[in-house]
């Protein structure tokens, strides 16, 4: 399938990173006849071997808690549980990052073909038209150099190609797209819809990157709810299965795994001529030559690569004349609350697995409110139903009912599937205290300088988390539940997620029309380096209350088409 190529070969494009951005660029370029070298810092993934889809907990002696019961002691080596396909974690051995004193930040990295798309939540939301002009509305942050209408055709392409469920609703905060049919709501979701209706809050069919009809040779979802384990039938979107593997079949893509990009090498004119990387298998440094490079390592990793690419023509790191590389970083605001819903006690047993994730969700509904406690907004994800029992599934019953024997068993039976929870995901406004930079004192095991994070929420986000609590409490109480979790002191920083924890970190190589305040132009091409593009969520100017993946795919698609056209014209 692949050609043996001499080291001296010059690739049209080197793409660094095989997640949502890199996978999209690779597929689009390969389909347009461009020769691509795809660098991935982790190993190959083999769904048949690596995915634990359909495994029962008793098929592994530790049942998922880890050897020695590690999870009971807060040391579970599996960040999202043993059965999740998340490859990587909050810490990677030999590849540290640091956090500035007085700051808190957590960074999730997956080193594997497909990156974090192998396990992500599959939520696929379009940004709204107003999300592209936030500064114009409230004077905070900055406007994007593109409009919704410019990106819309690429949302169409992305949704048509990867497959996204949903329903046409005509809600401005949640633009409609090209949707496949969403399966009906689960029982608790029906109740939530009735409660939210009473509270004048919309609750609509989920927009998940899961196919419910056969699409591009991929069979429809078989409703086992295990998307987080990876899908052997590729019925959900992962860049590995949906983009990288098909792109490799064109014969125009050469994949380099375990290739940790270290530096973009430039010539005297400042253009990128090669990518220097560490071949992890041999721990040797290699170079791969290119006409253009697309950086898509994940927003912070992309910033790190640019900052580490210093030369006479780029003393502050490549493309960083503005000093904005690493700046403008944001994550999503996260807060969750759940309660026992007595109406669901003893619910007759049935298979409620469905898609991996909720079948209905709450889009932001106060976007046109005259008076708001905080700028921007959040969407709400809904949890509940019967899940495959696992370690800890009935810990709450053990804790609350206590006892033993028949009484405890009856309590567990009765309460199984009777909890409903809500998770808010909201917009953080960029602030000057939140960014990443190169730590001057620390390198990883390959000798590459590592990132140091600075992260602070502001009152905007703290008020938003408090609003989430109030919303969730009112829905839970409307459902007949009683919230037992005490209300946190949100304005003191309690309750809200830790920065990075929602894994929506982005904005670190932002685009814009002004080269003094942005790194990339509106096509995600570096202002200062014509053959350097960035195609993950680093170019995002803001972090709207919609998970970033679909917009990464749409924007990367747009970037790839622009790059191919510029190459055809001989401009890069």
419-426 and 449-454 beta bridge pairing: unpaired
Nearer to other proteins, 375 or 390 (CB): 390
Yes or no: say if 66 and 82 are a contact pair by the CB < 8 Å rule.
yes
Look up residue 249 and give its two tokens. Answer: 């079949």
Pair of tokens at residue 414: 């009765």
Among 55, 448, 450, 488, contact with other proteins (rule: CB under 8 A): 55
Give me the least distance between CB of 187 and other proteins, in Å please.
5
Q: Is the dihedral of CA 81, 85, 87, 89 positive or negative?
A: negative
| 183 and 198 Cβ atoms separated by less than 8 Å | no
Alpha-helix runs per DSSP H in 80-203: 134-138, 148-162, 187-198
Q: Which stretch binds other proteins (CB under 8 A): 54-62, 143-151, 423-431, 555-563?
A: 54-62
**28-to-9, 341, 530 alpha-carbon distances in Å:** 21, 47, 20
Inter-residue contact 44 to 113 (CB < 8 Å): yes
Q: How does DSSP classify residue 50?
A: H
Q: Which of 233, 258, 458, 474 binds other proteins (CB under 8 A)?
A: 233
Name the 3-class secondary structure at 218: strand
What does the alpha-carbon distance between residue 24 and residue 401 come to, in Å, rounded to a whole number?
50
Q: Which among 69-77, 290-298, 325-333, 503-511 is the span making contact with other proteins, rule CB under 8 A?
A: 69-77
Closest distance between other proteins and the C-beta of residue 227, in Å? 13
- In Å, how far are 235, 265, 339, 415, 469 from 488, measured between CA atoms? 39, 50, 16, 26, 9
Nearer to other proteins, 51 or 161 (CB): 51
- Identify residues 352-381 at the interface with other proteins (CB under 8 A): 352-355
Does 343 contact other proteins by CB under 8 A?
Answer: yes
Q: Which of 153, 184, 315, 447 binds other proteins (CB under 8 A)?
A: 184
Q: Which of 178, 220, 366, 488 binds other proteins (CB under 8 A)?
A: 220
Q: How many CB atoms lie within 10 A of CB 413?
A: 14
Minimum CB separation of residue 208 from other proteins in Å reads: 13
Q: Which residues from 307-336 bind other proteins, rule CB under 8 A?
A: none
> Are the C-beta atoms of residues 320 and 306 closer than 8 Å to each other?
yes
DSSP state of 427: P
DSSP 284-327: EEEEEEEEEEEE-S-HHHHHHHHHT---SS-TTSTT-TTS-TT-
Rounded distance, CA 10 to CA 28, Å?
A: 19
DSSP 362: B
Stretch that binds other proteins, among 178-186, 437-445, 446-454, 513-521 (CB under 8 A): 178-186
Choosing from 3, 6, 49, 170, the residue that interacts with other proteins (CB under 8 A) is: 49
- Of the two residues 392 and 447, which places its CB atom closer to other proteins in the complex? 392
| Sole binder of other proteins in the list 33, 153, 219, 315 (CB under 8 A) | 219
Nearest distance from C-beta of residue 246 to other proteins, angstroms? 12
Q: Considering only residues 380 through 419, tell me which ones interact with other proteins, judged by CB under 8 A.
A: 386-395, 397-398, 402-406, 408-409, 412-413, 416
CB of 378 to other proteins, least distance (A): 23
Binding track, positions 471-510, relative to other proteins; x by CB under 8 A: -------xxx------------------------------
Choose the stretch contacting other proteins; rule: CB under 8 A; options: 130-138, 226-234, 283-291, 561-569.
Answer: 226-234
Q: How far is the CB of 123 from other proteins (least distance, A)?
A: 18
Say whether residue 351 binds other proteins (CB under 8 A).
yes
Calpha distance 41→362 (Å, rounded): 36
Residue 60 is classified by DSSP as S
Whether the Cβ atoms of residue 127 and residue 546 lie closer than 8 Å to each other: yes
Query: What residues between 189 and 218 interact with other proteins by CB under 8 A?
Result: 190-191, 194-195, 198, 214, 217-218
At 550, list the tokens.
């679909």
Stretch that binds other proteins, among 44-52, 158-166, 524-532, 558-566 (CB under 8 A): 44-52
Instruction: Tell me whether residue 417 or residue 548 sits nearer to other proteins (CB atom).
Output: 417
Residue 44 sits in the site that holds other proteins (CB under 8 A):
no
Residue 452 in contact with residue 99, Cβ under 8 Å? yes
- CA dihedral 565→566→567→571, nearest 10 degrees, is 160
Residue with smaller CB distance to other proteins, 19 or 185: 185
Binder of other proteins out of 232, 448, 483, 488 (CB under 8 A): 232
Q: What tokens does 432 get?
A: 């000057």
Question: By C-beta, is 386 or 435 nearer to other proteins?
Answer: 386
Residues in region 414-453 near other proteins by CB under 8 A: 416
Binding residue (CB under 8 A) for other proteins from 33, 68, 315, 323: 68
Instruction: Count interface residues toward other proteins (CB under 8 A).
Output: 82
* Four-CA torsion 54, 58, 61, 64, nearest 10 degrees: 60
Instruction: Give the one residue of 5, 54, 373, 489 binding other proteins; rule: CB under 8 A.
Output: 54
Compare residues 32 and 408 and give the one whose CB is closer to other proteins: 408
Binding to other proteins, residues 9-28 (CB under 8 A): none
């Amino acid at each position: 399938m692949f050609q043996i190529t001499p080291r001296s070969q010059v690739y049209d494009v080197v793409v660094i990173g095989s997640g949502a951005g890199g996978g999209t660029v690779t597929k689009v370029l390969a389909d347009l006849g461009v020769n691509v070298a795809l660098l991935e810092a982790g190993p190959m993934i083999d769904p048949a071997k690596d995915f634990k889809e359909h495994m029962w907990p008793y098929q592994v002696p530790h049942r998922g808690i880890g050897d020695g019961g590690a999870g009971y002691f807060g040391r579970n080596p599996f960040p999202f549980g043993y059965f999740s396909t998340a490859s990587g974690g909050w810490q990677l051995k030999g590849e540290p990052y640091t956090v500035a004193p007085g700051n808190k930040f957590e960074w999730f990295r997956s080193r594997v073909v497909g990156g974090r798309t192998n396990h992500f939540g599959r939520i696929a939301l379009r940004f709204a038209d107003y999300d592209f002009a936030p500064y114009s509305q409230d004077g905070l942050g900055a406007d994007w150099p593109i409009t919704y209408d410019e990106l819309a055709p690429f949302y169409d392409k992305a949704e048509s190609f990867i497959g996204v469920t949903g329903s046409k609703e005509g809600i401005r905060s949640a633009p409609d797209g090209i949707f496949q049919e969403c399966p009906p709501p689960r029982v608790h979701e029906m109740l939530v819809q009735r409660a939210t209706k009473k509270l004048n809050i919309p609750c609509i069919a989920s927009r998940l990157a899961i196919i419910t009809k056969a699409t591009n040779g991929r069979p429809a979802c078989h409703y086992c709810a295990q998307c987080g384990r990876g899908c052997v039938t590729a019925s959900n979107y992962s860049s590995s299965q949906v983009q990288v593997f098909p792109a490799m079949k064109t014969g125009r893509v050469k994949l380099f795994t375990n290739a940790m990009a270290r530096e973009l090498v430039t010539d005297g004119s400042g253009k990128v001529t090669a990518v220097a990387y560490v071949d992890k298998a041999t721990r040797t440094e290699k170079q791969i030559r290119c006409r253009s490079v697309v950086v898509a390592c994940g927003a912070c990793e992309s910033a790190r690569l640019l900052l580490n690419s210093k030369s006479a023509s780029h003393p502050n790191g490549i493309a960083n004349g503005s000093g904005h590389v690493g700046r403008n970083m944001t994550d999503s605001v996260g807060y969750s609350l759940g309660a026992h819903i007595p109406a669901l006690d003893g619910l007759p047993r049935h298979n409620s697995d469905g898609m991996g994730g909720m079948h209905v969700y709450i889009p932001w509904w106060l976007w046109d409110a005259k008076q708001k406690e905080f700028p921007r907004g959040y969407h709400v994800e809904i949890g509940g139903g019967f899940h495959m029992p696992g370690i800890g599934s009935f810990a709450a019953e053990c804790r609350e009912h206590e006892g033993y024997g028949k009484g405890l068993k009856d309590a567990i039976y009765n309460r199984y599937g009777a909890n409903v929870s809500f998770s808010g995901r909201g917009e953080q406004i960029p602030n000057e205290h939140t960014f990443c930079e190169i730590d001057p004192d620390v390198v990883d095991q390959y000798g590459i300088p590592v990132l140091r994070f600075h992260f602070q929420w502001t009152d905007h986000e703290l008020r938003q988390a408090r609003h989430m609590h109030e919303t969730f409490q009112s829905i839970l109480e409307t459902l007949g539940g009683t919230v037992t979790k005490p209300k946190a002191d949100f304005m003191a920083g309690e309750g809200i997620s830790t920065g990075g924890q929602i894994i929506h970190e982005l904005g670190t190589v932002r685009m814009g029309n002004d080269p003094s305040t942005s790194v990339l132009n509106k096509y995600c091409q570096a202002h200062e380096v014509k053959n350097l593009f960035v195609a993950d969520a680093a170019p995002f100017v803001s972090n709207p209350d919609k998970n970033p993946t679909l917009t990464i795919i749409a924007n990367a698609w747009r970037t790839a088409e622009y790059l191919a056209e510029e190459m055809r014209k001989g401009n890069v």
